[in-house]
Amino acid sequence: MPVSASPSGPLGIAVLGAGKMGADHVRRVDRLTGGARVAAVADPHPERVAAVAGEIEGCAAVTDPLAALDADGVDAVLIASPGPAHEEALLAALDRGLPIFCEKPLVPEPEAALRVVLAEAKAGRPLISVGFMRRFDAEHQRLKALLEADELGAPRLLHCRHRNLAVHSYFTEAMLITDSVAHEIDSARWLLGQEITAVQVYRPTAALPGHTGLNDPQLVVFETDGGVVVDVEILANGGFGYQVQTEAVCARGTARIGEAHGLMTNTAGRWGGEIAQDYLTRFADAYDRELRAWVDAVRHGTTVGATSWDGYAVAAVSAAGVEAQRTGRRVPVELAPRPDPLMNTV
Ligand SMILES: NC(=O)C1=CN([C@@H]2O[C@H](COP(=O)(O)OP(=O)(O)OC[C@H]3O[C@@H](n4cnc5c(N)ncnc54)[C@H](O)[C@@H]3O)[C@@H](O)[C@H]2O)C=CC1
Ligand SMILES: O=C1[C@@H](O)[C@H](O)[C@@H](O)[C@H](O)[C@H]1O
């Protein structure tokens, strides 16, 4: 069922969370040619919400996140608060029948993710799109198309590197998995069309010098039900830039994405290039495409990209990853039975 907003008017969006990602999405929605407008921004931090909402004419600024869902002109919700706050917002929005774009992770814990999946099933129609933006990145889409076309034969390995310049001061070791490697969990499942069945995490014995306390970097290894092995280097505070790279090793060849550095120079016996400094630059086009696609999908009463079930699968694999990180053991992944999204199961 399409949303009840006037079909000719812009879709009114409440943005929950006015931090780094929320502020960026507010500006993005504002630029989306006429299809949507930010009707309300909510953040418990009063100065932050005033600054972000103040950039948009006629936008309400509220410090109670749930009050934003009931603000005038709100037809849909974009959740950009920290992961642990997502469940409350998701359940409140589902309760109101509002279409939702939820930044990744859906929620960090699998039990909470399953509650969300079941609440959406109870609503009887798909309402949740999860912001795993790599699905909208041109290079990731080309790699997926190549693998699907079977041009290189069956995939055997995926080598992934995920390097950040720096992460938030509140980042924990578990968040290396639940917040950062969550992307590789989603993209590996999506690229391969396979489920992850076990996780192992290797940690160097010493953290990087001058570091924040995170045992950084780490190597996370996944096994899939199609017999593929996926290794992910996660580096949270690398200090030099942002790199997301994937190489697929297949039966008849390999394919690599994420190597491009934009401008390359040759001068006086040297060559060099640029490294993006963060995801907002590296994935700017992907974020634009995913939000445009979401606004279109909402107008047609549907969702785009990762579903709540994908969000649940990521949370289940993440939980196994955190356990593997803690114990040093190989941890199998168990997924709950999948509810039929169109059935009122509860
Ligand atoms: N797709 C992507 O590439 C990225 C996604 N993210 C995701 O976006 C979300 C936000 O991350 P950041 O903006 O980096 O964090 P942040 O820490 O910069 O901002 C979070 C904001 O949410 C506010 N907040 C806290 N509790 C809230 C609640 N209950 N309701 C509404 N707002 C609340 C905080 O006051 C803060 O202003 C997270 O889920 C994160 O994983 C973040 C960076 C990139
Ligand atoms: O989602 C993101 C952040 O939350 C996360 O902290 C980073 O590691 C990721 O690269 C970024 O895309």
pLDDT exceeds cutoff 50 at 10: yes
Cα–Cα–Cα angle for 76, 77, 79, nearest 5°?
Answer: 165
Q: Which CATH number fits domain 11-134+285-307: 1.10.760.10, 3.40.50.720, 3.30.365.10, 3.40.630.10?
A: 3.40.50.720
pLDDT exceeds cutoff 80 at 155: yes
Q: How far is the CA of 16 from the centre of ligand 2 (A)?
A: 18
Exposure string (b/e) for 34-59, b if CB count within 10 Å is 16 or more? Answer: eebbbbbbbbeeeebbeebbeebeeb
**Please, are residues 343 and 121 in contact by the beta-carbon 8 Å criterion?**
yes
Q: How far is the CA of 284 from the centre of ligand 1 (A)?
A: 17
pLDDT exceeds cutoff 60 at 4: no
Ligand 1 atom index nearest CA of 85: 29
From 20, 77, 170, the mutation candidate for ligand 1 (largest count of ligand atoms within 8 A of CB) is 20
Atom 38 in ligand 1: which residue has the minimum CA distance?
Answer: 82
Q: Which residue has the higher pLDDT, 33 or 189?
A: 189
306-328 confidence digits (pLDDT tens):
999 999 999 999 999 999 999 99
Q: For residue 280, name the pLDDT band (cuts at 50, 70, 90).
A: very high
pLDDT exceeds cutoff 70 at 345: no
What pLDDT does residue 8 have?
A: 64
Q: How far is the CA of 72 from the centre of ligand 2 (A)?
A: 32
All structural domains of the chain with their residue ranges: 11-134+285-307, 137-282
What pLDDT does residue 156 have?
A: 98
CA distance 176 to 155: 26
What pLDDT does residue 34 have?
A: 76
CA distance 173 to 269: 42
Name residues whose C-beta falls within 8 Å of residue 273's C-beta, 6 or more positions apart in sequence: 261, 262, 263, 264, 265
163-173 confidence digits (pLDDT tens):
999 999 899 99
Q: For residue 282, name the pLDDT band (cuts at 50, 70, 90).
A: very high
For residue 20, give the ligand nearest its CA.
1
What pLDDT does residue 346 have?
A: 34
80-126 confidence digits (pLDDT tens):
999 999 999 999 999 999 999 999 999 999 999 999 999 999 999 99
Q: What token pair was written down for 292?
A: 């445009």
Atom 1 in ligand 2: which residue has the minimum CA distance?
Answer: 180
Query: Once rounded to an integer, what is the mean pLDDT over residues 190-195?
Result: 98
Q: For residue 186, name the pLDDT band (cuts at 50, 70, 90).
A: very high
Name residues whose C-beta falls within 8 Å of residue 196's C-beta, 6 or more positions apart in sequence: 185, 188, 189, 222, 223, 224, 225, 230, 313, 317, 333
What pLDDT does residue 212 have?
A: 64
Asked if the domains 11-134+285-307 and 137-282 are classified in one and the same CATH topology, the answer is: no
Q: For residue 210, name the pLDDT band (cuts at 50, 70, 90).
A: low
Our answer on whether the CB atom of 179 is closer than 6 Å to any ligand 1 atom is yes
CA distance 22 to 39: 14
Q: For residue 9, name the pLDDT band (cuts at 50, 70, 90).
A: confident
Q: What is the CATH code for 137-282?
A: 3.30.360.10
Report the percentage of the chain scoring pLDDT > 90: 85
What pLDDT does residue 338 have?
A: 86
The β-bridge partners of 49 are none
State the Cα torsion 98-102-108-109 to the nearest 10°.
Answer: 30
From 104, 279, 281, 282, the mutation candidate for ligand 2 (largest count of ligand atoms within 8 A of CB) is 279
The β-bridge partners of 250 are 155, 253
**Please, are residues 74 and 102 in contact by the beta-carbon 8 Å criterion?**
no
Name residues whose C-beta falls within 8 Å of residue 21's C-beta, 6 or more positions apart in sequence: 80, 103
CA distance 148 to 245: 19
Closest CA to 97 of 131, 115, 124: 124
What pLDDT does residue 3 have?
A: 54
CA distance 22 to 156: 37
**Please, are residues 114 and 229 in contact by the beta-carbon 8 Å criterion?**
no
pLDDT exceeds cutoff 90 at 209: no
pLDDT exceeds cutoff 80 at 261: no
Mean pLDDT of the chain: 93
pLDDT exceeds cutoff 80 at 329: yes
Residues with CB under 6 A from ligand 2: 104, 164, 167, 179-180, 183, 279
Q: Which range, 32-36, 243-247, 260-264, is most confident?
A: 243-247
CA distance 238 to 242: 8
What pLDDT does residue 211 have?
A: 57
Ramachandran quadrant class, 303 (left: phi over 0; alpha: psi -120 to 50; beta: rest): beta
Q: What token pair was written down for 305?
A: 């990209």
CA distance 151 to 260: 22
